[in-house]
Chain A
């Protein structure tokens, strides 16, 4: 079987003798004397060195900047996180004789002044102010005012407030007794994000499959830039559009009660997320070797079957990574939800109710809080929480992508 006897004798008849070709080629090493140069001498390339160091410095400063931002957010939120704030104390009347016993900052906070302003008053005025405040506080007999609303328990667990008939999660940071429960905001963020992903993942991935596998070159050249153009729309414009146009149209079509709600916000958010999911998923699908789809087609699969059953599973790590990035964008997006969600901080599972997200809360309230006050610090806690959620989702996404890749490559 392996012999070449079937070849005609003539097959090797006229081949030139191998040795005869090479015999006259001089050996370069023997024929010329070359100076031996040491391998150790290094050429200096100052420009290259400079560019390399500059790039290193820039990347380092980017890392440093991210770290600084996190450190700043963390620092501002730290007193609340460590449980060092107590706004119930502010509502216990302080006797005038106790003034020398308490620190200036505490006194300023008690009187609702900035620490620097304290110098503007002499001892008698301060005494008067403290007495007035004491009288004012003595009139409050409300149970609610005895509660430290900045504690962990109050931020995450329901509380039985005086006027309510059952324990509630309430975010009311500017009421008489500020209520800082974060649960309505967390639920709002998750609800809007989930709605956005429900809308954008099927559309984004579907469009990516169509463009990368099924579309004719002409349609590909039209659809791809148009979807990618969507990512260039400023989110405030998308929010504006959702607020004015989409909210009315969707309400007319579906006939629900509140005009601005999670559904509207989620769809507008989805419009912002689609280009991200589309771009990355399309890249992942396009980089699947053509040989996979060719193999499937040659077995009698339709182009749709080849795309869905062979190419999509092979691109799954990339498509999943696209969805994780979409999640990050959706939960971090502010302007759209601020404009289109209605911003009511209620605890509700229905997507037809309004919602208030963590991001919109920070954006709407941070400009109006007392710097260094409890409300201010709690907004930073929300910021740190957002940071954490994004970080955790990225880590989990990374692990899942790694697993999926391993399974594709046959590693167990």
Chain B
């Protein structure tokens, strides 16, 4: 495998996951390389979003879930009893499927994560501006920072959510189908953004859109019915898949 995979930032080993009695993930092993974009693809219900939410322990908010196996970040087990889940979530940010800005001003949305860390004044404003610039929203939003975030268009809202997430400077950014509710123009803007953000962050993106996975990611993991079928460099998956199921899926024969 590629050399960066020798030192993955996140290592998922033998992960099983249950919602109540039904098992959603079966023995998943994935290594996520630093400053790379990893795409998780597969038909609906294959467990890719579940896997994503395991990485910042958001699944804990759902009742009656349990998991076995291990997820390590920089070599440290994120489910160990001494891990502060709040600290983990600061390091592993998340962008949701449906844009979910707070019903506050644009500025306050980006500032929220920083405020709870106790930032104030000029430093706070600087960080907000930097995040908005990084997420390519600054030019559109700089004159209306005090307006409600709900006034923005769908695509702008999603970029605001990305700005909000990267404002706290996480190491990893999880994206759960960030473009599924957006039109093609807004989608291509977010995809460009993902390319730009790669230099600063490690990105894991769940997508239903094959072309999006092909365009944005360095690595692709294909899931089917809770099992990892294939995980490799994106170019290899899309040009020369190793499994029949992967080929069938990416050529649109099912899913």
Contact = CB atoms under 8 A, between A and B. Distances in A.
A143 to B, nearest CB: 64
A296 interface: yes
Contacts of B58: 294, 297-298
Interface stretch (B11-19, B72-80, B92-100): B92-100
A8 B112 contact: no
Interface in B213-252: 214-215, 235, 238-240, 247, 250-252
B167 to A, nearest CB: 8
B100 A1 contact: no
A39 interface: no
A8 B192 contact: no
Interface in A1-54: 1-2, 4, 6-8, 10-15
B103 A8 contact: no
A342 to B, nearest CB: 46
B41 interface: no
Contacts of A10: 247, 251
B235 A301 contact: no
A24 to B, nearest CB: 23
A8 B211 CA distance: 11
Interface string B154-168: 000000010011001
Contacts of B61: 294, 297
Contact of B102 (A6, A295, A305, A409): A295
A37 B199 CA distance: 67
A409 B188 contact: no
B97 to A, nearest CB: 9
A13 B103 CA distance: 48
Among B102, B117, B215, B247, the one with the most A-chain Cβ atoms within 10 Å of its Cβ is: B102
B66 to A, nearest CB: 16
B238 A410 contact: no
Contacts of A14: 251, 253
Nearest to B96: A291
A313 B102 CA distance: 10
B149 interface: yes
B188 A305 contact: no
Contacts, number: 105
Interface residues of B, number: 46
Given A15-B252, A297-B61, A309-B116, A8 B238 contact: yes
A80 to B, nearest CB: 49
A123 interface: no
Given A298-B56, A299-B112, A301-B86, A292 B94 contact: no
Interface string A274-313: 0000000000000001011011111111100100011001
A201 B252 CA distance: 57
B50 to A, nearest CB: 15
A408 interface: yes
9 contacts: A4-B214, A8-B238, A14-B253, A291-B96, A294-B58, A298-B94, A298-B165, A299-B112, A309-B116
Given A294-B58, A309-B112, A309-B116, 4 more contacts: A7-B214, A8-B240, A299-B168, A410-B149
Interface of B: 56, 58, 61, 63, 86-87, 89-90, 93-94, 96, 98, 100-104, 112-113, 116-117, 147-151, 161, 164-165, 168, 188, 191-192, 210-211, 214-215, 235, 238-240, 247, 250-253
- Considering the complex of A and B, which 8 residue pairs feature the smallest CB-CB distances, nearest first? A410-B148, A300-B90, A299-B113, A291-B100, A298-B94, A410-B150, A408-B103, A6-B214
